[in-house]
Structure 1
């Protein structure tokens, strides 16, 4: 599965949580891959909610969000998040703009938590660089 999410905004999220640590390109790529998988899984659940309500359009409420935030406040771009939402659901579903924004917000929060933990793991290992292995270790420990 190719990664739909560009690495640059993911790198930005990691750097926000890294403090003085450096960030390897592999870390951004690994986190982007994890974000994408999580987003696709959330979209499956959202599609089930929409189907139960007799709709073919995913809405923010299908992701458990009552009111979407302003899209300009997000780091993750909306277009790739739309593609992520469609990765594992039938093409019969549409994804409303509020659902795209809601999913981007959820994924950004998810990425922030992982990035913060990865920074802690890198410091614990007495390294000055956050690596892909820190992201992987997070998932081994907490998922």
Structure 2
């Protein structure tokens, strides 16, 4: 599976959680891959909810979001998030714009949590750079 999400916004999310630490390219790539997997799984669940309601369009409520944030507040771009949402669902589903924004917001919060923990792990390892192994360690410990 190729990674749909560009690494630059993921890198920016890690950096806003890293304090004075540097960020390796591998860390951004690993987090982008994990974000994509999580987003595809969330979209699959949302598609099941839409199907149960007799709809072919995913809505923000299908992701458990009632109040959608303003798109300009997000670091993650919407087009790749839309492609991520469609990875594991049939082509017969549509993804409403509010659902795309809601999913991007959920994934950004998810990335912030992982990035903050990865920074803590890098500090604990007495390193000055957040590496892919910090992202991997987070998932081996907490998921």
The TM-score with structure 2 as length reference comes to 1.00
CA distance in 2, matches of 1:35, 1:68: 19
Give the equivalent residue in structure 2 for 1:2: 2
1:67 deviation in Å?
1.6
Counting matched residue pairs gives 143
Deviations 1:103-142 (A, max 9, x none): 0000000000000000000000000000000000000000
Give the equivalent residue in structure 1 for 2:64: 64
Unaligned runs of 5+ in 2: none
CA distance in 2, matches of 1:14, 1:129: 11
- Give SS of 1:34's match: helix
CA distance in 1, matches of 2:34, 2:141: 15
Alignment of 1:28 with 2:28, yes or no, is yes
CA distance in 2, matches of 1:55, 1:39: 20
CA distance in 1, matches of 2:84, 2:139: 20
Matches within 5 A, 1:79-90: 79-90=79-90
CA distance in 1, matches of 2:120, 2:90: 39
Give the equivalent residue in structure 1 for 2:45: 45
What is the CA RMSD across the aligned residues, in angstroms? 0.2
Give the equivalent residue in structure 2 for 1:109: 109
Deviations 1:33-77 (A, max 9, x none): 000000000000000000000000000000000121000000000
Give the equivalent residue in structure 1 for 2:12: 12
- Give SS of 1:87's match: coil
The TM-score with structure 1 as length reference comes to 1.00
Unaligned runs of 5+ in 1: none
Q: Which runs of 4+ in 1 moved over 6 A?
A: none
CA distance in 1, matches of 2:58, 2:119: 34
